Structure 1
Amino acid sequence: MVSVSIAEEGSPLMHWSFLPPRQVKIGDAAAFTGSTPRAIRHYHEIGLLPEPARGGDGRRRYGYEDMIRLLWVRRMADAGIALDDIRDACATSVTPAGADSGDGIADLLERLEETLAEQEAELRRQRTVVQRMRTEGSRIGLLSDFVTGRLKNLPDGSLRPADLDTLLVTERIFGPLGAAVQATRFVVLATHPALRERSDHVDDAERALDDGVAVDDPRVAQVAAERHAFESALHAVIEESGLDQNDDALFDAWDALHPPAADHDEDGTDSRFGRREMSAFEAVGKMPYDFSPARLRCMELWLELLAQDAPAS
């Protein structure tokens, strides 16, 4: 019997007595521990909680020790510990509750702290991306800061959605460094209207080489020659402006920020996020381009012209 005295101002002393239950049903257990009957049944199914005694009606009855274990399970689950890990840790602990009772819980907490630190780092990265999107625009802000740093101070509207699409694909295949180098191309096009117009002309000519054009059509070789002439002119402007020297500095900056193999295991897995990065060759093979045979032949001819320009070794 428990007796509680309650005194209220202006009222006589009152006595209230009650007898606590020795066992409770699953609904009461769930209400007290902040859980649900369904969750408690799941705990039993996975072996996290032993089956309690059952009453004459065949329903589970929970006593003091059952409730203590339920409370500890709920606290650990609320802390982010997986149920399977709680079960394994409690199984190796001296006491069923597992509170400061063995190395199992300590190891769990250490792993959980490492996981939370990784999640915090990922949240900071995501927040940085969102802030960059708000500052620089939703499309360009999705590129890495190593790429967007090359595109600062350009005239408004000088970068086209197609330019950003190309950089997005390049970054996926060759990484931020490859996209940052390619960004030099769009910096020149954004600041040289005549070159941009010439680029548009060659792009339109290549798109016109659809499935209705034969691979030996004279237009294929003509467009290849136009592409070669344009790329040569573009490269000349890049050299004259000194942007190619900035590209060299990019490699040095990248190497300083990303020591070789610092974040990747031997199999190419990124240890920061637990996922395997595709090689450039794999990525190219998974990116579809609806190019006609004539357009592919045009690209081959252009590469042959480019090879002829290379100095003899």
Structure 2
Amino acid sequence: MPASFMPPRQVRIGDAAAFAGCTPRAIRHYHEIGLLPEPERGGDDRRRYGYEDMIRLLWIRRMADAGIALEDIREAFAEDPADAQGGDGIEAVLESVEGSLAAQEAELRRQRTAVQRMRVEGSRRGLLSDLVTDRLKGLSEGSLRQADLDTLLVTERIFGPLGAAVQATRFVALATHPALREEADRIDAAEEALDDSVAVDDPRVAQVAAERRAFESALHAVIEESGLDEDDDALFEAWETSHLETGDGGENESGSGRVMTVLEATGKMPYDFSPARLRCMELAEGLSVLTEDEGGGNPRLPT
């Protein structure tokens, strides 16, 4: 150091920030939350920072760069502020940060795996759970519609992976039977036409309900003939076995957000159904129960 140079005894906030590698705004924030004590002010009423202030500021910056939250830094300093070795408070914080970083690394690995699955499976299909994605394997590109994937996403959120995997059977059948898909589109359009302008006792409501019931019976017949129902049975058995071993009920295990009951989840998903359409759904469900009680057959779709 040249003999003619004399370092300042105190510096202003701009110089302190430049030396510490932060901004004056950050330093003011440290003051506001009690992390850095307010220094004395000069004759111009501006803050002046001395050697001890700068030492504390440097430690704050070094700990913040290591990923330690400002609140934890404040608690560590408050626990033993005079300990030149850093104190047990800082050691405990470092241990906590190390555990947090390990958890972040695990989460990054999970996210990387999810992205890789999405790239392999294609589009949004790869964002569904493994159980659902495996059920859809073998379908040609484009055979699933966006609406199909949307429905599976909602079902997985409400009923969990098993419920969505079973429902995927429906879309497998539709994707591999064009006539079935065409009839499904026709009935979907008829149900959508039951808007708010249609009265609940309109004859069209009962007619569409009967058509929906006939379609569902035909769809079920196709699923049975193709052996997809046996795959569903195997899926249930494997699921029950794995969850008996872990002691986990598995309700609503969507992997996104907290676990909700089916009733709670259903009540939080909005559907803009008219009273006529809701009545149609009720009638179709009633016809389904009646058909099962009477042991009726499965009507086929017109060719």
TM range (shorter): 0.7 to 0.9
Shift of residue 123, structure 1, vs aligned partner = 2.4
Output the TM-score relative to the length of structure 1.
0.82
Counterparts of 2:127 and 2:253 in 1: how far apart (Å)? 23
Q: Which of 190, 198, 209 is matched with 1:213 structurally?
A: 198
Counterparts of 2:205 and 2:7 in 1: how far apart (Å)? 91
Partner amino acid, structure 1, of 2:34: G
Residues 254, 116 of structure 1: alpha-carbon distance in 2 compared, 3 angstrom cutoff: farther
Which residue number in structure 2 is paired with residue 67 of structure 1? Answer: 54
Partner amino acid, structure 2, of 1:77: A
Shift of residue 181, structure 1, vs aligned partner = 1.1
Counterparts of 1:76 and 1:252 in 2: how far apart (Å)? 52
Q: How does 1:279-298 map to 2 (within 5 A)?
A: 279-298=261-280
Which residue number in structure 1 is paired with residue 298 of structure 2? Answer: none
Task: Compare 76-85 and 112-121 and name the one that shifted more.
Answer: 112-121
Which residue number in structure 1 is paired with residue 219 of structure 2? Answer: 234
Residues 188, 40 of structure 1: alpha-carbon distance in 2 compared, 3 angstrom cutoff: same
Contact 1:69 / 1:96 at 8 angstroms: preserved in 2?
Answer: no
What's the Cα RMSD here? 2.9
Which residue number in structure 2 is paired with residue 9 of structure 1? Answer: none
Which residue number in structure 2 is paired with residue 107 of structure 1? Answer: 92
Counterparts of 1:233 and 1:47 in 2: how far apart (Å)? 71
Counterparts of 2:83 and 2:76 in 1: how far apart (Å)? 10
Which residue number in structure 2 is paired with residue 225 of structure 1? Answer: 210
Task: Considering fraction of residues, name the structure with more helix.
Answer: 2
Residue deviations 1:120-139, cap 9 Å, x none?
23322332333233333323
Task: Compare 148-157 and 202-211 and name the one that shifted more.
Answer: 202-211
Partner amino acid, structure 2, of 1:91: A
Task: Considering fraction of residues, name the structure with more strand.
Answer: 1
Q: Which of 229, 233, 237 is matched with 1:248 structurally?
A: 233
Partner amino acid, structure 2, of 1:161: Q
Output the TM-score relative to the length of structure 2.
0.84
Residues 205, 261 of structure 1: alpha-carbon distance in 2 compared, 3 angstrom cutoff: same
Q: Secondary structure at the match of 1:276?
A: coil
Residue deviations 1:244-299, cap 9 Å, x none?
232233334445379345999xxx999x98x5333221222222222222221111
Residues 209, 37 of structure 1: alpha-carbon distance in 2 compared, 3 angstrom cutoff: closer
Contact 2:42 / 2:48 at 8 angstroms: preserved in 1?
Answer: yes
Q: How does 1:1-313 map to 2 (within 5 A)?
A: 18-95=5-82, 99-102=85-88, 104-254=89-239, 256=242, 259-261=246-248, 276-310=258-292
Shift of residue 191, structure 1, vs aligned partner = 0.9
Aligned residues: 292
After the TM superposition, which segments of 4 or more aligned residues of structure 1 sit over 4 Å from their partners? Answer: 252-255, 260-264
Residue deviations 1:214-257, cap 9 Å, x none?
32233222222221121112112222322223223333444537
Structure 1 unaligned blocks of 5 or more: 4-15
Structure 2 unaligned blocks of 5 or more: 295-303
Counterparts of 1:63 and 1:203 in 2: how far apart (Å)? 75
Q: Secondary structure at the match of 1:55?
A: coil
Counterparts of 1:207 and 1:289 in 2: how far apart (Å)? 12
Mark the structure with the bigger radius of gyration. Answer: 1
Shift of residue 184, structure 1, vs aligned partner = 0.6
Counterparts of 1:54 and 1:220 in 2: how far apart (Å)? 80
Q: Secondary structure at the match of 2:40?
A: coil
Residue deviations 1:81-130, cap 9 Å, x none?
11111111110025266x5312x222222222232233223322332333
Counterparts of 1:38 and 1:285 in 2: how far apart (Å)? 46
Partner amino acid, structure 2, of 1:36: T
Partner amino acid, structure 2, of 1:90: F
Residue deviations 1:52-86, cap 9 Å, x none?
23334333222222211111100111112111111
